Amino acid sequence: MPQFSRPITLEKATEPPRRHVAKEQPGKCSAGFHPLALWRLAGSLQIGGALQIGGALATFCRITLVLVIALASILDAGEPARIRFGVSSVGIGGRPAVGGIVTGLVHARGALEAEFAADGIAVEWTFNKGAGPQTNEQLAGGLIDVAWQGDFPALIGRAQGLSTRLLLADGRGGFVHLAVHPDAPARSLRDLVGKRMVIFKGTATQLLVARILGQHGLTERDFKIITLDAQSSLPALYSRDVDAVWGGASFLDLEAQGSVRLVLSTRDPPPAPHRERIRAYTAILAASDFVDRHPAIVQRIVSVFVRTAAWSADPANTETVIDLWSRSGTSPEVYRRDLAALPLRERLSPLLDTQCLDHLRTVAQTAFDLRLIRRQVSIDDWPAPHFLAEALRAQNLEQFWK
């Protein structure tokens, strides 16, 4: 019979044991326990604050827990069973498809699924009606590993302490349009001052609109701002519950159908004396812990995106690109018009180059100046550039987008 250094005492617990959920900390094993906490727990085992075990058994438990932690760390460093990819957009009618970006092509062609099929690694796609804010929530909750995200919501997440790494650019130069009901009297942005304007707050569109309004000497305070998602804003416009709505490429289709009338578009030259045509940038980022635990997987993901971007830049593939994008519900003609203004090679460049990083710095500073974020955000230590550099080197594309 084992000998204990001190007696075992059993008492009735005064209250049931509580379940505690701790914030994620560095060094936490995959089972969800911090190794140091487990080590301390082994020194004095307690059940409901009543049962205490010491001596030889405690030493045995310590050794066992150390071995369990070591095994968990080894298993955690292996390949994941799945890659969870979040997309901050949906297609027309909520369909799981997007256009205008490499992510839409990778999804439509099943490129990630093909890359990881032999490894038995599944790829799960989540298309978020709630756009960037919903994607941030999923990253914060550990529900996704990689995401396509707009510049502003990505910066909001970073400002709030969300730990991510920027992997590559995916989409630069998206246009936005301001639509009114076709029978509305408004003919310009100025005509809408004091009116009800929809802006989906927390998304890339919000900051784009703030900068556009600034070029016209206006701010959000000059309008009655209503926040609605993209799927809810158009019905509100048609029912005249709102006076104006901001949107993307699909608004060109709606204008052609006579469903809306555009009073402003970033495709048009900016008002004098401004010269900058305000554009949105989007990117692929990943949760920092996923990058740290699975660098080889992240490298393969980045390589797939770079390969797809290079494929899309070949003029022989342009019509295929447009066809795949149109699965989102936006007509092929809209994409043809967009590409006439901004060729695919430029639009889908994956480079985290000076232009891209300077844009992010401008967005971060503007967001802070407008008090849309509460603290300034550093851009310099955000990218993980070695993944993109290796993908470009391995595919002999180092000068392709220069």
pLDDT band at 270 (very low <50, low <70, confident <90, very high): confident
123 φ, ψ (degrees, to nearest 5): -120, 120
pLDDT at 100 over 60: yes
Phi, psi at 334, each rounded to 5°: -60, -45
Q: Spell out the domain ranges in the chain.
A: 1-77, 82-171+280-394, 177-265
| pLDDT exceeds cutoff 80 at 11 | no
More confident residue, 366 or 138: 138
| pLDDT in the model for residue 99 | 94
Q: Which residue has the higher pLDDT, 42 or 238?
A: 238
Average pLDDT of span 386-390: 98
Q: Read off the pLDDT of residues 17-76 as tens digits, 9 standing for 90 and up.
A: 323 332 333 333 333 333 333 333 444 434 344 334 455 554 554 555 444 444 444 444
Q: Are 82-171+280-394 and 177-265 the same fold in CATH?
A: yes
For the domain bounded by 82-171+280-394, which CATH number is listed? 3.40.190.10
Query: Cβ(139)–Cβ(265) under 8 Å?
Result: no
* Residue closest to 388 by CA, chosen among 280, 309, 290, 292: 309
> Mind listing the pLDDT tens digit for each residue in 106-156?
999 999 999 999 999 999 999 999 999 999 999 999 999 999 999 999 999
The three-class DSSP label of residue 6 is: coil
Return the CATH number of 177-265, one of 3.40.190.10, 3.40.50.300, 3.40.1010.10, 3.40.50.2300.
3.40.190.10
pLDDT at position 60, please? 55
Strand order in the sheet with 164-174: 122-127, 82-87, 146-150, 280-287, 164-174
Mean pLDDT of 93-116: 96
The per-residue pLDDT for 57 is: 54
Cβ atoms of 120 and 339 within 8 Å: the answer is no
**46 vs 83, higher pLDDT:** 83
- Say yes or no to pLDDT of 267 above 50: yes
pLDDT digits (tens, 9 = 90+) for 283-296: 999 999 999 999 99
Rg (Cα) of the chain, in Å, rounded?
26
Res. 164: pLDDT tops 50: yes
- Amino acid sitting at position 165: R
Angle between helices 56-76 and 35-43 in degrees, nearest 10: 170
Which residues 6+ apart lie within 8 Å of 50 measured at CB?
Answer: 9, 10, 11, 12, 13
User: Which H, E and C letters describe 93-136, residue by residue?
Assistant: HHCCCCCCCHHHHHHHHCHHHHHHHHHCCEEEEEECCCHHHHHH
202 or 312, higher pLDDT:
312
For residue 95, pLDDT over 50 is answered with yes
- The predicted structure's pLDDT at residue 30: 35
Distance from C-alpha of 358 to C-alpha of 274, rounded to nearest angstrom: 18
How high is the pLDDT of residue 63? 55
Give the mean pLDDT of 309-328.
97
Distance of CA 320 to the CA centre of its chain: 26
Quickly state the pLDDT bin for 312 (edges 50, 70, 90): very high
> Which tens digit of pLDDT belongs to each residue from 167-204?
999 998 778 899 999 999 999 999 999 999 999 888 88
Cα distance between residue 237 and residue 231, in whole Å: 11
